[in-house]
Amino acid sequence: MGEKKKKKRNPIPLRVNIIFFTVFLLFSALILRLGFVQIVYGDEYKKEVEKKEDVIINTSVPRGEIYDRTGKSIVSNVGKNAITYTNWKKDKPEKMRETAEELAKIIKMDSEKDLKKITERDKKDYWILINPDEAKKKIPEEENDQLKLKYKDDNKEYQKAYDELLRDRVTEKDLNTLTDLDLETLAIYREFQSGYYYTPHIVKNEGVTDKEIAIISENLEKLPGVDTVRDWDREYEFGGTLKTVLGNVSTSQRGVPAEEKDSYLAKGYSMNDRVGLSYLEKQYEDVLKGQKKKVKYIKDKKDEIVNSEVLSNGAAGNDLVLTIDMKLQLEVEKIIEEELKKTKYGYAGTQYLDRAFVVLMDPHTGEVLTMAGKQLGKDDKTGKQVVQDFALGNITTSYNVGSVVKGAMVLTGYKEGVISPGSHIQDATMQIKGSNPFKSWKPMGLISDLTALKQSSNVYMAKTAIMIGKGHYAYMQPLNIDLEAYPKIRNSFSEFGLGVRTGIDLPNEMAGFRGAVDPNKPANLMFLSIGQYDTYTNMQLAQYISTIANGGYRIQPRLVKEIRETSNEEGQLGPIVQEIQPKVLNKLELKSGWMEQIHRGFRMVMQPGGTGKVFAGASYSPAGKTGTAEAFYDGPLRKNKDAEPPQVMNVSLITYAPSENPEVAMAVMVPWVYTTNDGPSPNLTIGKRVMDKYFELKNDKEKE
C-alpha cells in the first residue's frame, strides 16, 4: 500500500506549467503584434491620437500673355486687389454668417452685380438662419410630428420637406425686416457658401480699395478664413481686334465649365480656377495656365494650422508669340471696313452684304500673318450701325467661292489624264436636255488651259469634269456620267485644302458643305467644277493658294509661332521654350511641268485681259485667280426659312507674290455682295489694297 501511495503524483504542477506556457505564448503573440503595429502603423496611429490632418492647397499663378510676331503685347494681365475666403475648418452656416457679417462692416459689395444675384429663396433661407426661434414657430409641433411620421424611414426626405414648408411660410413682411447690413452680409455669405473646403474662393475682386485691404489685414483675427490677395484681369491692347480669335477666359465666379468639370478636375484644377473658354485661350490652356504653387498645411485636433510646407513653388504660365503682325492686321482691317461700307452704301442690290474676310499667309511655313474679318451689324442698345470683329468667320463660315477653284480643277484634269498642259477645248454655250443653258461670261471659242484660267472659262472646266465622269456631251442631249467623278474631283480638291479642315491651331474649324450626288442632275458636276456646288472657308482658300504657290505642299496654317517663358523684364520676351515648326500635311503627286503651267495661267490672270487685271503693273509681280459664284443667301436677314432663299453673288480672290519666288499668299472672300445682274467687285479692291499695303510696310521696315 505504501509503495502505491508513493508512486502516485500530484497533477497540479503539470496543469500550472501548461497554463504558464499558454500565457507565455499569448504574451509573446501580443508583444509581436504590438511591435508590428508600432512599426507598421505607428505613425498613422500617432497622427490619429494627435488628430493631425494634412491639407494640400493649390494657389493660382498669373496666366501667360500673348504677343504678336514683332513682340508687341496683344493680351496681358492687369493686377487688382481681391478678397478671398477659405473654409479651413468646415465651419457651420452660423459661424460663416458671423464672419460674413464682420466682413460686411468693412467692405461694400457691388450692388449692380452681387446684390442683384440674391434670390427670394436666398433671402428666406437667410431670414431662417438669423431668426431660428421665430422660424421654428412657423411649423407647429403637431404638424412637424405628422411630417416625421410621413417620412419616418427617410430622414433626408423629411428634412427636405420640412425646409420647403418652412420657406413657404416666410412672408414678405418677414423679408422686409432684413436690413441693408443683412443684405450685404447675405451677398458675402452666398460667396462663402459657393466655395469648396480648403480652396480659396474670391469674394470680391472688383473695386476693392487699398483702404479695404488695410482694414481687413488689421482685423484678420476677427475674420477666420478671410484673406487679401492680388488677382488679375485680361487686358486687350488692341481692343476688339482679333478678339473672336483670341477667345475668352472664365471669371473666378464661373470657374471651370460645368460640362467639362470631370476633365479639369482630373488635371488638378479647382472648380473656381479661371480657364480658357474659347479659341486660342482654350486651345493653348495647358501652355498659358502655368504651374500652381502647392502648399501643405498641417492641422491639429482643434482644426488649427500648426505647420505648413511648400511642396512646389509653381510658375507663371508661358507666353504665346503669334504669327500675326498686328500692324499689318490693323491696316487690313481698316481696308476691309472701308471697302465694305463703300460697297454696301454705294451700290444697288447690296442689302444682304454684311461681311468680308482676308487671310495673309506665308506659303512655305503656314504662318498666318493676318486673319481679318469684319461684319456690319447693329448695336443692341443704340440701334446704330457698327462694325464688329469677325476674324473667326475665316474658319467657322463657308461659302460657294466660284472660279478660284479652277486652278485645282485644271490640275485634277491633268491627274485624271483627260487633259494635259496646252489642251484645247471649245468654249460655247452648253445645254443638257432638261437643264438650263450653261456658259462662260462670254463665248471664247477654241481655248487652251492657260486662256481658260486667264479668262475664267466655265465651259472648259465643265467639259473637263464630264470627261473625268466618262460622259459624252452633245448639245440638247441627255448626259450620263460615272458618279465616281464626284469623289475623284473632291478628293483631288482636298489635297489642296478645299473641302477639308486645314488643321489650323484653333478649335471648331468647319470643313464646309458638300452638295448631294444626284444621278438625275448631271449638271451638278459641272457646277462643282467651277466652285458653285460645294462650300469652302476662306482659310481653306488660303491653304489652297499656298499649296500652289509653294509648288505642291499642303502646309498646316498656324497662329502660334513660339512658346516662351515669362520674362522678368518689362517689354522683353522670355527665353524660347518651343519654336513651332512647319507641318506638311500632304504633297501633291504631279508630273514635271504641271504646276508650272498653273503658275503661268495665274500670272496671266493678273495681267491686261485677265479677270484680275486691276493688279496689272504691280511692282510685286502677283499671280492668282478671281472668283464669282451664283449662290443662295442664308444669312441673318433671311426671314422665311421655308421659302426659297434669295439669289446672291459671292466674290473671292486668291493670289500670291512675287510670282517667281512667293513670300506671301492671300485669300479674300466677300459673300452675298449683290442681287442684281451685275455689281461691284470688292474682292479686287480689297485684295489690291491689302497686297499693296503688305509690300509698302515691308519696304518701310527694310528702310529702317
Q: Which residues participate in catalysis according to the annotation?
A: 403
- What backbone torsions phi and psi does residue 613 show, to the nearest 5 degrees? -65, -15
Length in residues, the chain: 704
Contacts of 628 (CB under 8 A, 6+ apart): 402, 403, 649, 650, 651, 652
Cα angle 695, 343, 388; round to 5: 75
Name which of 689, 693, 695 is nearest 619 in CA terms: 695
Instruction: Give the number of other Cβ atoms within 10 Å of residue 451's Cβ.
Output: 21
Integer Rg of the chain from CA: 38
Farthest-apart Cα atoms in the chain, separation: 152
Assign 669 to helix, strand or coil. strand
Ramachandran region, residue 476 (left: φ > 0; alpha: ψ -120 to 50; beta: rest): left
Task: Tell me if 668 sits within 8 A of 683, measured CB to CB.
Answer: yes
- Secondary structure of 495-554 in HEC code, one letter for each residue: HHCCCCCCCCCCCCCCCCCCCCCCCCCCHHHHHHHCCCCCCECHHHHHHHHHHHHCCCEE
CA–CA distance, 501 with 66 (Å, rounded to integer): 25
What the block records as the C-alpha cell of 368 is 498666318
CA–CA distance, 695 with 212 (Å, rounded to integer): 54
What the block records as the C-alpha cell of 579 is 519654336
CA–CA distance, 24 with 100 (Å, rounded to integer): 63
Q: Treating both helix axes as pointing N-terminal to C-terminal, what angle do 180-194 and 120-130 enclose, rounded to 10 degrees?
A: 100
CA–CA distance, 52 with 44 (Å, rounded to integer): 10
CA–CA distance, 504 with 147 (Å, rounded to integer): 62
Task: Tell me if 244 sits within 8 A of 390, measured CB to CB.
Answer: yes
Antiparallel, parallel or unpaired: β 66-67 and 319-322: parallel
Name which of 343, 362, 366, 363 is nearest 354 in CA terms: 343
Beta bridge partners, 656, equal: 623, 665
**Which helix (H) or strand (E) is 445 found in, with range?**
strand 445-448
Residue written as grid cell 520674362: 567
Contacts of 116 (CB under 8 A, 6+ apart): none
Own/partner contacts of 606-613, CB < 8 Å, gap of 24 or more, are 606/655, 607/454, 609/454, 609/455, 610/454, 610/455, 611/403, 611/454, 611/455, 611/456, 612/653, 612/655, 612/684
Antiparallel, parallel or unpaired: β 553-555 and 305-312: unpaired
CA–CA distance, 679 with 650 (Å, rounded to integer): 11
Task: Tell me if 192 sits within 8 A of 84, measured CB to CB.
Answer: no
Contacts of 59 (CB under 8 A, 6+ apart): 200, 292, 293, 294, 295, 314
Name which of 667, 666, 664 is nearest 652 in CA terms: 667
